[in-house]
Each structure stands twice: as structure tokens, then as C-alpha cells.
Chains A and B, each alone.
Chain A
Amino acid sequence: MTQNFFEIFQLPIQFNINEKKLDENYRLILKSIHPDRFVNATDAEKTQSLLKSTQINDAYKVLKNPIERIEYLLKINNISPNVTLDNNFLMQQMEMEEKLEGQSNIEQLTKFLNEITKNLNEKFQQVKQQLDEERNYAAVVSELAKIKFLAKLNQKIKDKSFSLMED
């Protein structure tokens, strides 16, 4: 398949996507090529159905996830995602990790989670601007590293809340 992931789902090549259209097209495509539709077919068709469905699943997974979507956009624009983080953000990271460490009740964690989620959403808005309007891919590289950190922290807070609730 020489088309890129966006083209497969007939979406414009940009960060901001119509998720409904992505879901809808994913469904329509899989319904026509999924191995379940080829139970009585020749081995050649079974193989091709498996391979193509695998590609479609992969493409869908990448576009569905905003972080992977950014990485993919950088990749198809030949931008290397390697970056040295600025000291400022490194300090912030450590502060946030320490903050998580210190929190031990659900209310605190929920508040922290909301804060991080808000922060993350702002970053996505910023990236959207940089990618789709300014086409400034290089600038996105350092933002991506920050976004990845925030997303991981977000998950850590959720995990911690969950284990607190379980006890």
C-alpha cells in the first residue's frame, strides 16, 4: 500500500482530524476486507485479507492516538523525533514527579490529574497550530517530548488513584 495512513481513510494530512470520519471509514473498510469475510475463499485471498486488515488496524491505531499521530506526521515529513530537552522542562518534570510521590489521597490526585489533563490539552492545541497552520514541524519535536511526559504522568496518576481505591 503506497498510500499514507491519512489517504487510506480519506482524511486530510494534518493533526486535526475528523475522528468520526476516521471511525466510520475504518469500519467500512474492515467490513469489506476482514478475514471473517473470507472464510470460504482461496488461500491467496485469506492471506491478503489478513495482511491488509493488519495494515488497516495499524493505520487506525496510529491515527486514533494523538501522540502517535504527531509522530507519524513528523515521520512522513522526514523529521527526526530526537530532541534534547531544555533544562527548564527537566526541572518541571522532577517537580511534577515529586508532587505525585507526595500525594496520598484521592482528592489531591484528582485535582492533580485535572491540572495535568488541562496542561496536556493546551499542548495539543499548540501542536495543532504548529502542525496544521504554521507547518513548523521542527518546533513540534520538543513539544512532543513534553506531551509524552505529561501523558505518562497522567497514566501514573490514574494508576495511583486506582490502587488507592482498591485498598
Chain B
Amino acid sequence: MALLQISEPGKGTLPHEHRNAIGIDLGTTNSLVATVQSGVAKILSHENQNNLIPSVVQYQTNTILVGEAAKLNQDDDPVNTIASVKRLMGKRFSDIATHTSSNNLSDEKSYIGIATKQGTKSAVEVSAEILKKLKTIAEQHIKDDILGAVITVPAYFDDAQRQATKDAAKLAGINVLRLINEPTAAAIAYGLDKKVEGNYVVFDLGGGTFDISILRLSKGLFEVIATHGDTQLGGDDFDEVIFQWLMKQSTHDFQDPQLKQKLKTLSKNIKEKLTDNEIVSVEHSFNSSVNIKTKIDQKLFADLSQHLIKKTIDATKRALKDANLTIQDIDGIVMVGGSTRMPVIQKIMWDFFKQDLLNDINPDEVVALGAAQQANMLVGNSNDEHLLLDVIPLSLGIETMGEIVERIIPRNSTLPIAMAQEFTTYKDGQNAMMIHVVQGERDLVSDCRSLAKFSLKGIPPMVAGAAKIRVTFQVDTDGLLSVSAQELSTGVQASIEVKPSYGLDSNQIKTMLESSFQLADEDKENRALAEVKVEATQMQEMVERALQQDQNILDEPEIKKINKALDQLKKSLKNNDRNLIHEQIDQLNNATQYFAQLRMDRSIKNALTGRDIKDMKL
């Protein structure tokens, strides 16, 4: 479909060609799934009741509960019930400050282990359970095939956290169309992408994360021009403020895990009541000996949360500064996340920007709705022409002598972006080298986040300093890094082995995927074969259509090369050999690289020529 869109921009697809895609807001506290039906984005609810699926997973001896059911058991089984797992995504044990969570966490080197009745789980696996649940809900509403999903992440998420999110989707069997930033999704839901021009602030205070982003919109192009935030600040912290205050109202120490959990639940209730009430009276007895009787008003709540409010204002100022904008330049403020319902927050934002806030879409749902709209556009259902351009939230650098970071890609660079850097060998015959990539703004390696260590191997042996290795760091539209390397004088492509500092490596993911299929081997093989056949057929159709349209830009040998690869693919489809079909798909991809490149160049030319004609008409 994408092929058609290039040659006929602005033409919508036929109704019978509607493709199903979903938007997923994988939140710290709650998750949601949405889709666009008949042109309108709507949340898909669990058993037609709950739109919000609590991001809570309970591991029982033989089953796994997700959502409301797990949340209900949270107070009784706090150890096996995992909440706010998003906070652990892409993190190592050493990253988490004295964690107050009731879960048993362990150091698994590149990730944090969470002890459950079903063994030690990673945050990726727990998130995958939530995603599976959302997928099931979507499948109950959408009877046809679902092509894929747009999943939202905080704009501030670094590479490790984004990769962890993608890995979780992979484990859940979800095809990720794109990871997009939560604030961008919110802006889409408010239809800001339909406006002509403007600068917008998206203030997103969720359950566990806080983001402030500044988006610039001009003529259908949507850019995140600055983003700041705190991955450890959210509604939970406001609960904590009340929790700490409540503790002081009682003589009991609340050390018992169950009692503590109940006090936490009460704290949350009080915070929610403060949304619609100026003052809330608290009268609660936990058991015959532990009682709390007190009250709290907006003023006291604001005072107790002063340090949290300051953090949000500071981040807002910084984002404005990064964007080189002042308060007067801002054309709208979008409020996202359940925690923005708090009157304290609404007031502070109004006082700061002195203008009305965009808050009429349910702040819990707005991100998922926007993600669904984006997914719908990506699969080619809408003739909406907007284009999202995101930036990389944190600078990427490499370790140099003396543990100093050399910045290679500065933050807020528009994605996709690539930077090449040349390295040389320091020993005769040296055939390998290691590159340590870090993310962050500080000068010392130890102050940044280690992303991965790339080992380059297969450098042709030469005297010291003679080899010139060009290493290219590419960050794609999901904000994910990939690295390639080439020795320049010989043209030898060095092979790269990645050791991610965070999360799971590709082998671990593969093992998990395989063990998650509870099918017999034969079924598994049949399913895989069917899938690869579909892929091959789609590819064949796409290439044939492209040839029909643009054969004229190729010379004879190129056309022959592609046709040959096409024939071989068709032949391989007749045999039920999965590996052979895979191989032919790769072959056809290789054979069409140059063709694709030419088509890309021609698209560029056409895009500009189209403009000239328009200009002439004016």
C-alpha cells in the first residue's frame, strides 16, 4: 500500500481495503488499547466495561492474572503481584534508589529480576503479559487480522527503555508499527496536527512518569522540539506524600506489608477525592487497634507536594529554554495523564502559562486515542497527510580515553539521524576493537547511562594506525540505535557483536519466545511456514507492482536481476521449505535495494516538482 501512496499522494484507500491497527498506551499504572473504526478513535474495553486496564500482573502457581483481577489481589498477595513495572523497564538493579516496592527484586546483571511464584521474571516479561492482555481485548473487538500496533513511550525514555518496550511487544506477539512519544500521541488526539501552525506544550503527569514536551507544528509537520522529564515522578509520588503524612497521624509504624498496602490504597483514595473536593475528611480503622482520623485540604496538599510541583515547573522552564521559546510563544497546553486532574496541578499550569488548558479529552485515554489514530494513518487508512518528526531525547556518545564521553549525536536531533566516526587501530595486526556507547548529557562515562558495548571483529590485519574503521551510528524513527562498521581502505565490513548493558540480549528473547509457544513442534512449524508464505506473497506483489509502475527507471541488467529473484521466490513458494523461502525473500530484498533507492530519489524529485507546478498555478 505504501507503494501506491507515493505515486498517488492524497488518495485514500478503498473502503474494503480497511486495515486494522491498534494504538496501545502501556502505562505505569494503567494501560489502554484503542482503534479507529469508521474514522473515529475509540477505546476498546475489557468485557465492554473497563477502558483502563490496571498495569498489574499477578503470578499464581499455575496462572497469570492481568489487570483488574490482579489488582484486586494486590493487597492480599503483594509479593507475587507486580505493579508499576514500567519503572523497571530498561533498568539495572543499581539504577533503582532504595526501592520501597513490596516486590522481591534481585540483581540479574543486565536487568532486574522480580521473584514470583513462577520464578524470576524480568520487567520485559511482565510487560509482555500486559500487552498480551491488551492484544486479547483488541482481538475480541476486531474480528479481522490486526496488522500491528503503535505503542507509546514517554518522550524521555532512553534507548534501553525503548528497546525493552519493543522486546515486550515481541514476546507478546505484537507487530510494532512504531513507537511514538506519549505527548505526540496526545497532540494527535487533540487534532493539533490539523492546525496550521503553532507551538504546543504537552504536560503529561501519569501514574509513574512525568514528561514535558514542546511540539512545533507547521504545515502538517509535527516536530517534538524539546523534551524534559523525570521517569521517576508521577501520581504515585503524590500518593506517597499523603502516605507519609498519614503515617505521622498515627502511632502505628505500618511495617506489616498488608497493613502498609492498605494505607497506600487509602492514600490514593484520598488523593483522588481531592480532585473534586476542597477538603477531605479521613476516618479509617485498619483493625481494632489501628485507626486514623484526620482531614486534608487543597492548601495542605499543595504544601506537602511542594517539592514535586517544583520539579514539574523546573522541567517546564528547561524545555522552554531548550526550544528557545518564551511563555508568550506557546499556543496551547495539552494536559495528559490522570494526575493532571489534580486541581493543584491545573492551577500551577494555569498560573505559569496564563492561558486556558486543553483538558476536555479524558486525560487517561488521550494517549491511546492518539496512538490509534497514528496507527490508522501508518497502515494507510486515512488520507491525513501529517508527518511526525520526533527527536532523540538524550545525547548519544562514546567512551574515549580517560572515561570522557565524546558526543556523537546531540539530543533533540531530528530522527532518523546517523553519524559516522572514524577509528584506527593502536597495535600492529589488531583485528578487533570495542566501542562503548553511552546516553546522557554529562561529560564522564560514569555519569551517563551505558547503553551497549559493541565489539568490532574481522578488521583486516595492518600496522598500527593504518586501518581506518568508519563506524556509523544510526538512530531510527523509534529512537533505537544500531551500529555498523567498515574498514575503509579494504572495504571489509566488520562484524559487530552487541552486548546491551540493559535488558535482554536477542538470544534470551528468542528462548523466551520459543518457550512461550505451547504448541506441538509440528504445529509450530506449520504456523511459521504459513507466516513466511504470506510474507513472501506480499513481497512478491509489492515488487511486481513497483516494477509495473517504475520499470522505466531501471536498465536491462537491473530488471533481469530483479525478475530472476522474483522467479526464484515464486519457485520456492511451491516447496514447503521455510528456510528456502526466507532465503529468497532476503535475495529479493537485496536485488531490489538499488531499485528502491532510485524510487526514493525520484519521489524526492517528484515531491519538489509538484510544488513548482502548484506555484505556477498561483
- Write the residues of chain A forming the contact surface with B, with a CB cutoff of 8 angstroms: 1, 8, 10, 23-25, 27-45, 47-54, 56-58, 60-61, 158, 162, 165-166
Contact of A54 among B416, B589, B611 (CB under 8 A): B416
Identify which of B252-260, B442-450, B600-608 touches chain A.
B600-608
Residues of B near A165 (CB, < 8 A) are 317
Residues of B near A42 (CB, < 8 A) are 539, 542-543, 588-589, 592, 596
Q: How far is the CB of B471 from chain A (nearest CB, A)?
A: 15
8 pairs of A and B residues whose beta carbons are closest in the complex: A48-B596, A32-B607, A32-B603, A41-B2, A44-B592, A28-B607, A44-B596, A45-B596
A153 to B178: give the CA distance in the assembly, Å.
Answer: 40
Q: Which residue of B lies closest to A159 (CB)?
A: B321
A30 to B590: give the CA distance in the assembly, Å.
Answer: 24
Residues of A near B596 (CB, < 8 A) are 42, 44-45, 47-49
Identify which of B92-100, B110-118, B218-226 touches chain A.
B218-226
Inter-subunit contact A52/B178 (CB<8 Å):
no
Inter-subunit contact A33/B604 (CB<8 Å):
yes
Number of interface residues of B (CB under 8 A): 55
Residues of B near A30 (CB, < 8 A) are 221, 387, 389
Q: A28-B607, A36-B477, A39-B378 are in contact. Are A45 and B2 (CB under 8 A)?
A: yes
Q: Which residue of A lies closest to B5 (CB)?
A: A37
A41 to B385: give the CA distance in the assembly, Å.
Answer: 18
A53 to B597: give the CA distance in the assembly, Å.
Answer: 11
Q: How far is the CB of A128 from chain B (nearest CB, A)?
A: 23
Q: Which residue of A lies closest to B177 (CB)?
A: A39
A23 to B197: give the CA distance in the assembly, Å.
Answer: 13
A29 to B387: give the CA distance in the assembly, Å.
Answer: 11
Residues of A near B588 (CB, < 8 A) are 42, 44
Q: Is B12 interfacial (CB-CB < 8 Å)?
A: no
Residues of B near A44 (CB, < 8 A) are 588-590, 592-593, 595-596
Given contacts A24-B219, A52-B600, A162-B317, 4 further A-B contacts (CB under 8 A): A28-B611, A29-B607, A40-B379, A57-B417
Inter-subunit contact B314/A166 (CB<8 Å):
yes
Q: Is B599 interfacial (CB-CB < 8 Å)?
A: yes
Inter-subunit contact B387/A50 (CB<8 Å):
no
Q: Is B474 interfacial (CB-CB < 8 Å)?
A: yes
Q: How far is the CB of A109 from chain B (nearest CB, A)?
A: 14
Q: A35-B416, A58-B418 are in contact. Are A40 and B321 (CB under 8 A)?
A: no
Q: How far is the CB of B151 from chain A (nearest CB, A)?
A: 14
Residues of B near A56 (CB, < 8 A) are 604
Residues of B near A57 (CB, < 8 A) are 413-417
Inter-subunit contact B387/A31 (CB<8 Å):
yes
A47 to B597: give the CA distance in the assembly, Å.
Answer: 9
A32 to B413: give the CA distance in the assembly, Å.
Answer: 20
Contact of A50 among B317, B388, B476, B601 (CB under 8 A): B476
Inter-subunit contact A40/B414 (CB<8 Å):
no
A32 to B589: give the CA distance in the assembly, Å.
Answer: 21
Residues of A near B1 (CB, < 8 A) are 40
Inter-subunit contact A41/B542 (CB<8 Å):
yes
A42 to B535: give the CA distance in the assembly, Å.
Answer: 9
Residues of B near A38 (CB, < 8 A) are 2
Inter-subunit contact B608/A25 (CB<8 Å):
yes
Task: Tell me which residues from 325 to 359 in chain B have a Cβ below 8 Å from any Cβ of chain A.
Answer: none
